[in-house]
Structure 1
Amino acid sequence: MTTIHSEKLNGTFEGTETDGVLEWKNIQYATITKRYDVPIVKTDYQGKVVDCTKDGPICPQIANRYDAHDGDVWSDELLCLNLRISKPKSAIGKKLPVFAFIHGGANMIGSIYGDNPVPFVKQSETIGKPFIVVQIEYRLGMFGYITNKDGRANWGARDQWAAAEWIQHFIGEFGGDTDMITLGGQSAGGMGTSYLSRRDAMEGTNLVNQVFMSSGSVGCFPPQTVEHLNIFRDLAAKKKGCKEEDLDDISKVSADELLDLQTKIGYPHGMFAYDDWFKEGIEDAVPKVEAAIISDNGFEGVIFTKKVHPDDKVEEVLNKTNLGKAVKKLYNIKSNADVCKFYGDQMLVLPNVTDAEKLRKAGAKVYRQFFDEIDPINPKMGARHAVDIFFMWHDNTDIDESENDLAKKYQTNLIKFTYKEAPWPEGEVCWIHDHKIEYGKFNPRQQCCELLKYKRSEVRELATDLGPDLTAPGGNII
């Protein structure tokens, strides 16, 4: 039941079964033969039997919470372009909607093997709307988001695009309906989804039909110039004591050495860039999608608690300008922790607010979500960044009955969306808090929306004055 013979792909894929869910892991969707190589979509598996029963390689990265895998953790920068496909066993023979997901992690960390899709897929079966989940591995950090000697960049984003192409062409071999593909992501994955949907509009490729963007869109981190990214190439080469072009050669600078250099020079996060692939103007392009769920969390800025300045410095910065004084009053800022609320809102929420309005004006159905549920595992973090995805996967059993029930309802909304059904009435907001879901014509983000009265550039500049420049060496956000 878990073996798929595909003439179209010229290969046989042997999967595994867990609790009634079929899975195929480590399906290589594209090939790269050298560092900073353009991914080529894999279309021919040369008649081989592909073992899809074990975790595949992840992109080299610093140690992080995603190190907990189903099996042994291993990395390979040239072999990490793989997919994980999951579907209910009971739905064999049916054409199913597809939810393709890009993980988060600042384009620096993360893996498709750190989140268990089985509970999500099981819920789709329970409600009678079975679907397929596809998780996308891609290049990270200075493997995926730095310039090469030719001034090209966006390798991780190129990987995501190649994965979307593979899914569009071949997910039908695994029972997917190519007319019902939703591309989604969280944090950096939300940004990737936002960027890809814009490139899709600019190129007229009609690759992206529906999107789910959680805590991330283009405006969070606008593209950088090639010249800016070259700063990090220069720093890394000097730290290594080699020529810059040697960084492109895996035989001269190994994966371990590049990862070590990334840490030593304080490469901040995986930055998108203007190059031959993401052309200037991409941040202003309007995605041509039918529908979008745009979601953010109540306390996005908690991840910046150790990044913003001490209380006395905060007071000094806020009192310098009228905008600073207005923000101080709006967010009732009395301490470093209060600043984080503003910091997260201006970086992660405000771009979502403007993106939602832009999509509505373009004719897309937009479903706005405000996830204000406290992290049940670490309540001190509040409704932290990415807490909604904790409930989406629902793969932690150490939560109470009401939280389990909430997770299932949240999953149900997302599953309905993949069926091109309204997850809740269009024009209303989905507000998730206090173990319940409410819908209505209210604006839980009213405080953040007050920032729209000011120039976006000035708001961002104020935020930068209150903390580190997140595009400069050492401005890490993880």
Structure 2
Amino acid sequence: MTADRRDPVVRTPYGDVRGTYEYGDGDGHGDRIAVFRGIPYAAPPFGPRRFRPPSPPEPWSGVRDAVAFGPTPPKPPYSEAFARYLSDPVVPGDDCLNLNVWTPEPGHGARLPVMVWIHGGALTRGSSAVPVYDGAAFARDGVVLVSLNYRLGVEGYGLFPDAPPNLGLRDQLAALEWVRESIAGFGGDPDRVTLAGQSAGAISVGALLAMPRARGLFRRAVLQSGPPEALDRDKVRRMVRRMANRLKVPATAEAFAAVDRSALAEAQAEVGRLSSPVLGGPAFGIVVDGDLLPTDPLEALTEHGAAPGIDLLMGWTRDEHRLWLVPGGLQERVDRLGTVALAGARARCHCGPEIPRAYRELHPDKGVADLVGRLVTDHLLRVPLHRVADARVDQARSYLYEFAWSSGLPALGSCHALELGFVFDTGDTSASAKLAGEHPPRDLATALHSAWVGFVAEGTPGWPVWDHTHPVRVFDSPDDEPLAFGPYDPELALWAADARRPRRVQGGGTFVTSGGGPLPALRRFRRSP
């Protein structure tokens, strides 16, 4: 990106900010966009504000420079195995509740569509400073792009007796309220906001869809590779207690606030070392709190008619699980475990033995690791997203897609997060190449990015709306059929039948199989991001 010496200045409710003009082609030509980085939307969440809900930033006088990414929230680094594939820059400092704006036309009167981006990272890692999330292509195509930071891990999602829950989610709500108040000054239309997220960001979007306090703050939503869900409160409490035991402090917010941030992040990384989306284990997550989030998001959207009239774009990658199994060689280890791994997947998915057997029959060409990965991905992701689309046919439009292009790197396939460089049209960055390899197909990036732009700007990505035929747009090579009808219907039928099947337990009575812990045989092999 090439900067222009003339600087754009925009007034916000807390003071004026000065950004920079940049050019997407890097040589001073082409479409000029204005970029503002590191704008605070809430006060630093430290000192007396630690483990407290976000509060407004202190107003400033004069003009504040907004030319560099602001501080990132405290977080542990990725393990060496995952750092090969995922970039996660760290910017030191306290003022970590900040956001960035890319706009083609700063100033009141433009009324352009807006996309607010919530990054992924298992609610423990990531930030808006990841180079893959550069918003220049969206601004180039007439969309104001806002990306934001929010508190992560125990700082954002710990459950304590002396602090409110879901602090990271409260941060996201505060950022949306800032957008509502401020985005017109950047050329955006506060009534044309699309909320979008990937992985944990999509889970956050699902919670915001179900949240009464978020109504009216966005008009459309995108959920990529993440379902609406809430974690069991006891599971999150166990994570906090394990950290407390390791730190030798009480499991209270007051005690955790007295711990050095680096020590807290180190303890969190160690306690979460055995976590994996495929294999389960301890984790932080959004919880139903009876206040901010009164109902499980999936239940709210499928049974209670939450977020009426909000159209949805929902997608996944064909081989989501490969990102969690390939680093560190876990894919090969799961293959060697055979039926033991399938039994563990059954426990992880709370299903009967019929499901793994049926998956073997449906996919006889797949190895055990891919069967386990697909089974768990369907249970955790594809089935909930299909349920949401089916439940909302009469109240809003839904569009579903699959990203199926395979990475140029060995064994990754079309893994989790691979599509992001295509969504943001940042495939030429080194951060994107860590997952995709060199020279990913430009035509595919144009197609997927244009679909998102079309949905944000006009409410349609360019293929049929979801109905009883279950249309799914497939993004792969140009030679493939782009639209499939019901490609996962056989698997969906299995899960629907399993949900209706009671199972006997010793001592009488019926229940739906519980579980979700890690496979004992894999515990010594597991590595978290």
Task: Judge same fold: TM > 0.5, yes or no.
Answer: yes
Aligned length: 459
Select the residue among 26, 33, 53 that pairs with 2:38: 26
- The structural deviation recorded for 1:475 is 8.0
Deviation at 1:117, TM superposition (A): 4.8
Structure 1 residues 176 and 457, CA, compared in 2 at 3 Å: closer, same or farther? farther
Match of 1:187 among 199, 203, 217: 199
Give how far 1:283 is off: 3.4
Q: 1:335 aligns with which of 343, 353, 368?
A: 368
Map of 2:7 onto structure 1? 2
Q: For structure 1, which segment, 239-248 or 312-321, has the greater mean C-alpha deviation from structure 2 after superposition? A: 312-321
Instruction: Give the residue type in structure 2 aligned to 1:4.
Output: V
Residue equivalent to 2:413: 382
Q: 1:27 to 1:90 in 2, by over 3 A?
A: closer
User: Do structure 1's residue 369 and structure 2's residue 401 form an aligned pair?
Assistant: yes
Question: Which of 158, 169, 193 is equivalent to 1:146?
Answer: 158
Deviation at 1:123, TM superposition (A): 5.9
TM (norm. structure 2) is 0.78
The alpha-carbon distance between structure 1 residues 366 and 316, as it changes in their structure 2 partners (threshold 3 A), is: closer
How much has 1:388 moved relative to structure 2?
Answer: 1.8
Contact 1:15 1:53 in 2 (8 A): yes
Aligned mates of 2:109, 2:283 — CA distance in 1:
42
- Single out whichever of 421-430 and 189-198 deviates more from structure 2: 421-430
8 Å Cα contact 1:314-1:466 kept in structure 2: no
Structure 1: gaps (5+ residues): none
Taking the TM superposition and a 5 Å limit, the aligned residue runs for 1:274-353 are 274-275=288-289, 276-286=291-301, 287-305=307-325, 306=330, 309=334, 310-314=337-341, 321-332=353-364, 334-353=367-386
Cα displacement (A) at 1:209: 1.4
> Counterparts of 2:54 and 2:501 in 1: how far apart (Å)?
38
Cα distance, 1:67 vs structure 2: 4.9
Aligned partner of 1:450 among 493, 516, 519: 493
1:245-264 to structure 2, matched below 5 A, reads 245=252, 248=255, 250=257, 252-264=258-270
Q: Name which of structure 1's ranges 337-346 and 428-437 shifts more when overlaid on structure 2.
A: 428-437
Residues 232 and 18 of structure 1: is their aligned pair in 2 closer, same or farther, counting only changes over 3 Å? Answer: same
Deviates more, 1:449-458 or 1:419-428: 449-458
Distance (whole Å) between structure 1 residues aligned to residue 294 and residue 345 of structure 2: 36
* Partner deviation per Cα, 1:364-419 (whole Å, 9 max, x = no partner): 1111111111124x252111112221211222326777711210121111111111
Structure 2 residue aligned with 1:269: 283
Distance 1:204-1:144 versus aligned 2 partners, 3 A rule? closer
After TM superposition, give the deviation of residue 244 of structure 1 in Å: 2.6
- Compute the displacement of 1:351 (Å): 1.3
2:70 corresponds to which letter in structure 1? Answer: G
Identity of aligned residues (%): 22
CA contact (8 A) 1:294 1:368 kept: yes
CA contact (8 A) 1:303 1:477 kept: no
Distance (Å, rounded) in 1 between the aligned partners of 2:405 and 2:123: 25
Seen in structure 2, the aligned counterparts of structure 1 residues 336 and 87 have a Cα distance that, compared at 3 Å, is: same
Q: CA deviation at 1:93?
A: 5.8
Matches of 2:513 and 2:56 in 1, distance apart? 40
1:85 corresponds to? 101
How many angstroms does 1:54 deviate by?
1.1
What is the alpha-carbon distance in structure 1 between the residues aligned to residue 193 and residue 309 of structure 2?
11
Secondary structure (helix, strand or coil) at the match of 1:369 reads: strand
Q: Report whether the alignment pairs 1:74 with 2:96.
A: no
Whole-angstrom CA distance in 1 between matches of 2:62 and 2:448:
40
1:396 equivalent to 2:396? Answer no
Query: Structure 1's 114 and 350: CA in aligned 2 closer, same or farther, altered over 3 A?
Result: same
Structure 1 residues 411, 323: CA separation in 2 closer, same or farther (over 3 Å shift)?
closer
- Secondary structure of 1:177's counterpart equals strand
Secondary structure of the residue aligned to 1:159 is helix
Measure how far apart 1:469 and its partner are. 13
CA 1:331/1:266 → structure 2, altered by over 3 Å: closer, same or farther?
same
Tell me if structure 2 keeps the 8 A contact 1:373–1:435. Answer: no
Task: Give the SS at the match of 1:449.
Answer: helix
Q: Which residue of 2 aligns with 1:216?
A: 226
Measured in 1, the distance between the counterparts of 2:410 and 2:106 equals 37
2:60 alignment counterpart: 46
User: Residues 467 and 115 of structure 1: is their aligned pair in 2 closer, same or farther, counting only changes over 3 Å?
Assistant: farther
Pick aligned residue for 1:16 from 15, 20, 41: 20
* Other-structure match for 1:413: 451
Give the aligned partner of residue 237 of structure 2. 230
Assess, with a 3 A threshold, how the Cα gap between structure 1 residues 10 and 18 changes in structure 2: closer, same or farther.
same
| CA apart distance, 1:263 | 2.1
Q: Deviations over 1:14-62 (max 9, x none)?
A: 11233123211111111234221101244x6232421111121111112
In 2 relative to 1, CA 414–336 (structure 1 residues): closer, same or farther, beyond 3 Å? closer
Q: Is the 8 A contact 1:208 1:289 kept in 2?
A: no
Q: What TM-score results when the alignment is normalised by the length of structure 1?
A: 0.85
CA distance in 1, matches of 2:449, 2:190: 21
Residue number in structure 2 paired with 1:137: 149
What are the within-5 Å matches in structure 2 for residues 54-69 of structure 1? 54-64=68-78, 65=83, 67=87, 69=89
CA distance in 2, matches of 1:55, 1:232: 31
In structure 2, the residue matched to 1:240 is: 247
Q: Is the 8 A contact 2:103 2:139 kept in 1?
A: no
Q: In the superposition, relative to structure 1, how do residues 457 and 311 fare at CA in structure 2: closer, same or farther (>3 Å)?
A: farther
- Return closer, same or farther for 1:435/1:174 CA change in 2, 3 Å cut-off: same
AA in 2 matched with 1:283: L
C-alpha distance in 2, partners of 1:352/1:87? 31
CA distance in structure 2 between the aligned counterparts of 1:404 and 1:420, rounded to whole angstroms: 23
**Partner SS, residue 360 of structure 1:** coil
Cα deviation digits, residues 174-211 of structure 1 (max 9, x gap): 111111100000011011001101113xx473223100
Name the structure 1 match of 2:304: none
Distance 1:458 1:317, change over 3 A: farther
Deviation at 1:324, TM superposition (A): 3.4
* Stretch deviating more after TM superposition (236-245 or 104-113): 236-245
- Who is 1:426 aligned against? 465
The 8 Å contact of residues 88 and 125 in structure 2, kept in 1 or not, is answered as no
Measured in 1, the distance between the counterparts of 2:424 and 2:384 equals 25
1:215–1:352: 8 Å Cα contact kept in structure 2?
A: no
CA contact (8 A) 2:117 2:148 kept: yes
Unaligned 5+ residue runs, structure 2? Answer: 1-5, 24-31, 274-281, 302-306, 347-351, 503-511
